[in-house]
Structure 1
Amino acid sequence: MLFLKYRRMLMFCILSLALHASGALASEEVQTVTIGFVGALSGVSESFGKSLANAAELAIFEANRKPFKINGKRVQFRLLRMDDRNDAERTQRVAQALVKAGVIGVIGGTNSNTSIAASKIFADAGVPQISPTSSLRKYTGQGFRTTFRMLGIDDDACIYLGEYAVKELHAQRIAVIDNGTVFGVNVGTRFSEVAREHGAVIVSRDSVSDVLMNFGEILQRVKAQDIDAVFFGGYSAQTSMLAQSMLRLEVKARLVTSMNGIVGSSFLISSGVAVNGTVAQEAGIPFNKMPGWKKFEADFNQRFDFQVYSMTPYAYDAAHVLMAAVRRANSLNPRKVTNTLHEISFKGLTGIIAFDAVGNPRSPSYTIYEAQNQKWTAMKTNTMR
């Protein structure tokens, strides 16, 4: 009986403390701080854009579980998602709406062209913009202090891929195709330069539309030229169709590509057995090398049950580093947050995040993967110093 009496008293004390704590939290003044997300949330890139937005949402959920105060008020972050449909003109209107909404910072856009389109609007407002996916050099080369990127630059990546194709794949005769976009032309040109430097011959160079899905004519021609590899600078869906066309036309050359987000399950599913032998380079280190990857994957799947792309963790880290800068700056002034981002060194899921003077990652990594038995296998990781 005495034991039961003390047990009831203990439970009463615990309950009282819990109610007191919850009451204290309820009585605290809370200020809602809005983080913007801009990306493709509809259309052909809907799944990709939503995966990135979900990752930012997960980061905000985690940060709100460890609250802090600024000016005596508890900070509560929220994410404002805006759909730009991968359209540069629409992105500018979305950017203006986010500035008007008073965001502390922005995660996005989800490709280089839309990120560039929005960058001056955010710069004029002093709002930091962290793109988790933009790889064009121009994005951070415009001179805006507010632009930051999580990935390395795409033509820098070709330094490693061009050497790998020649030395490891022993590709001496290479056909190069791009899809006519700034990205496609950039990576195609840089890959060609590096491959030549290592002794390869570029036997043909073709530029196609970014919506072309029939590569039969080009492949019939290059097949007759006894090639060892086809390099393609283009989008994921086009790369999948190219892989299937190469299999159907019995083109024995390796398919090589860079920085277009194909390393993941969706490309494996869409390409089927045609994916085998494909060599792809993506930004960053492999998932299984990321500290905390298993927890992130479990939490993400439990909360969203959604596709994780190779760049999804970078949206998660972009949101975390932005909130860390708010906390360190002890300010809700976006310009002060921007200044802090230029100084910060943050341990994230993808590694140590630190930006140089123009907003590029200080030590970007690139990993070369090969599709084997319809699975991606990491072959080699290179880190710029």
Structure 2
Amino acid sequence: MSLITKKLVRALALGCAAMATAQAEDIIKIGHVAATSGGIAHLGKDNENGARMAVDELNAKGVVIGGKKYRIVLQAEDDAADPKQGTTVAQKLVDAKVQGVIGHETSGTTIPASRIYHDAGIPQISPSASAIQYTRQRYNTTFRNVANDEQLGAALARYAMQTMKAQRIAVIDDRTAYGKGLADEFIKNVKRQGAATGSSIVNTQYTTDKATDFNAILTAVKASKPDMIFFGGMDAVSGPMLRQMKQLGMPLRFMGGDGMCSDGVPRLAGEALADDQVICAEAGGVEPSQEKGMADFRVAYRKKFGIEVQTYAPYAYDALMTMVEAMQKAGSPDPAKYLPVLAKATHKGVTGNITFDARGDVQDGVLTIFTFRNGKRVKLAVVK
């Protein structure tokens, strides 16, 4: 055998070995959807980064399901927080035959997309959509690992009335599924419990998630002489709103939910943000015994991406880890086989212990109350 022939045989053998290895490592495709363009792109990318951290960690360790080795591929899509684009992207993921979906980020896109995933039998875990309607559609494929607006609105109302001693409260929302849903729950709880604390809703106003001029509604709010404003919406709107409040001489306390509880608020509000003026809550949180795991995650995130966690990266991370663990316990990445296992999940994550109720809501969901001081987010309390 000539030297050239020997080299050819060796090359063919190596090629065949490489093909065998590639065939032995099957692929699991998991979709991720968030708004990675537009006004809340920084939040959407945060979610995506959390999911990517989980994928990279799993692939580094090696994923074995039913005795076979798999490599996980994240198919990340952008819905721009637009419901129409959200359904288009959902159908794209279905056509790509993903075996699960992490997302969407916002309630307004998550809800219409959930029907498409349900019809295709694809499990979906949202790490950030909090609107009640999402899990009230009776779709067995829908899950979330954060508290919902019913829990969030009630907790914020209690904090506003009992801790902040707010008496005259004005409410503004951005008319999105998330903003309106959260504001409605807050109003409902103030009306239900306000008699005991002397608290009441004195004004309600509406804007949009694309608005930049709030002078008219803020002038109307100012005339009602509130001592606090509750806002249902995102940081991209709340930051500029705080700036215009300062211009109008309205140094009022300003409360909202997870959408305006990011590290982007100081940047967006600038000098208009006074210490302890803003109170907000994340639809999630960890008890003292779990704080080390969350702190370690934040360090690893900073090392990997060179930036700080914005809001829900750890929840996206946990959502993907929970989904893959269900596949491993079921012995298959086939959605039809691992879906019943996912519904009974008991995953110990960095954000806490994750189990779902009959609707797909996380059980015993907790919330974290924050404020801002010296341009930094500061934790005040973990509540249920």
- What TM-score do the two structures reach when normalised by structure 1? 0.87
- Describe the SS at the equivalent of 1:116: helix
- Describe the SS at the equivalent of 1:164: helix
Return the match for 2:261 from 234, 242, 263: 263
Residue in 2 aligned with 1:285? Answer: 285
Residue in 2 aligned with 1:322? Answer: 323
CA contact (8 A) 1:154 1:259 kept: no
Distance 1:369 1:28, change over 3 A: same
Task: Give CA-to-partner distance per residue, 1:122-151, whole Å, 9 cap, x none.
Answer: 111111011111101111111110001121
Q: Does 1:235 align with 2:230?
A: no
Structure 1 CA distance, aligned partners of 2:100 and 2:90? 11
Return the match for 2:80 from 76, 81, 85: 85
Residue in 2 aligned with 1:302? Answer: 303
Structure 2 CA distance, aligned partners of 1:70 and 1:230? 51
Distance 1:176 1:69, change over 3 A: closer
Q: Does 1:379 align with 2:377?
A: no
Aligned residues: 360
Residue in 1 aligned with 2:13? Answer: none
Moved more, 323-332 or 250-259: 250-259
CA contact (8 A) 2:104 2:129 kept: yes
Q: Does 1:158 align with 2:153?
A: yes
Distance 1:209 1:293, change over 3 A: closer
Shift of 1:215: 2.0
Residue in 2 aligned with 1:149? Answer: 144
CA contact (8 A) 1:51 1:307 kept: no
- Describe the SS at the equivalent of 1:44: coil
RMSD: 2.2
Shift of 1:252: 3.0
Q: In the TM superposition, what are the counterparts of 1:238-253 in structure 2 within 5 Å?
A: 238-253=237-252
Residue in 2 aligned with 1:19? Answer: none
Structure 2 residue identity aligned to 1:266: G
Moved more, 187-196 or 32-41: 187-196
Structure 1 CA distance, aligned partners of 2:41 and 2:135? 25
Structure 1 residue identity aligned to 2:112: A
CA contact (8 A) 1:28 1:73 kept: no
* Structure 1 residues not aligned, in runs of 5+: 1-21
Task: Give CA-to-partner distance per residue, 1:327-352, whole Å, 9 cap, x none.
Answer: 11101210121111111101001000
Distance 1:183 1:52, change over 3 A: closer
Shift of 1:297: 2.1
Structure 2 CA distance, aligned partners of 1:68 and 1:222? 55
CA contact (8 A) 1:290 1:351 kept: no
Shift of 1:204: 1.2
CA contact (8 A) 1:28 1:74 kept: no
Task: Give CA-to-partner distance per residue, 1:265-299, whole Å, 9 cap, x none.
Answer: 21112212322211112211169853422332232
Structure 2 CA distance, aligned partners of 1:27 and 1:174? 61
Shift of 1:72: 4.1
Moved more, 190-199 or 246-255: 190-199
Q: In the TM superposition, what are the counterparts of 1:93-104 in structure 2 within 5 Å?
A: 93-104=88-99
Distance 1:176 1:287, change over 3 A: same
Structure 1 CA distance, aligned partners of 2:348 and 2:293? 11
Return the match for 1:184 from 179, 182, 191: 179
Shift of 1:369: 1.4
Distance 1:231 1:265, change over 3 A: same
Residue in 1 aligned with 2:14? Answer: none
Task: Give CA-to-partner distance per residue, 1:74-133, whole Å, 9 cap, x none.
Answer: 111111112222222222222222122221111111111211121111111111011111
Task: Give CA-to-partner distance per residue, 1:311-368, whole Å, 9 cap, x none.
Answer: 1111111111111111111012101211111111010010001111111001111122
CA contact (8 A) 2:170 2:203 kept: yes
Structure 2 CA distance, aligned partners of 1:233 and 1:28? 50
Task: Give CA-to-partner distance per residue, 1:23-65, whole Å, 9 cap, x none.
Answer: 9x95981111111112222222322222211211110111122
Structure 2 CA distance, aligned partners of 1:101 and 1:125? 12
- What TM-score do the two structures reach when normalised by structure 2? 0.87
CA contact (8 A) 2:135 2:360 kept: yes
Structure 1 CA distance, aligned partners of 2:182 and 2:64? 45
Shift of 1:71: 4.8
Shift of 1:307: 4.6
Structure 2 CA distance, aligned partners of 1:232 and 1:69? 46
Residue in 1 aligned with 2:135? Answer: 140
Q: In the TM superposition, what are the counterparts of 1:1-385 in structure 2 within 5 Å?
A: 29-196=24-191, 197-198=193-194, 199-260=198-259, 262-276=260-274, 277-285=277-285, 290-383=291-384
Structure 2 CA distance, aligned partners of 1:308 and 1:299? 10
Shift of 1:257: 1.1
CA contact (8 A) 1:292 1:349 kept: yes
Structure 2 CA distance, aligned partners of 1:27 and 1:221? 65
- Describe the SS at the equivalent of 2:358: coil
Distance 1:66 1:194, change over 3 A: same
Structure 2 CA distance, aligned partners of 1:192 and 1:167? 15
CA contact (8 A) 2:230 2:254 kept: yes
Distance 1:84 1:335, change over 3 A: same
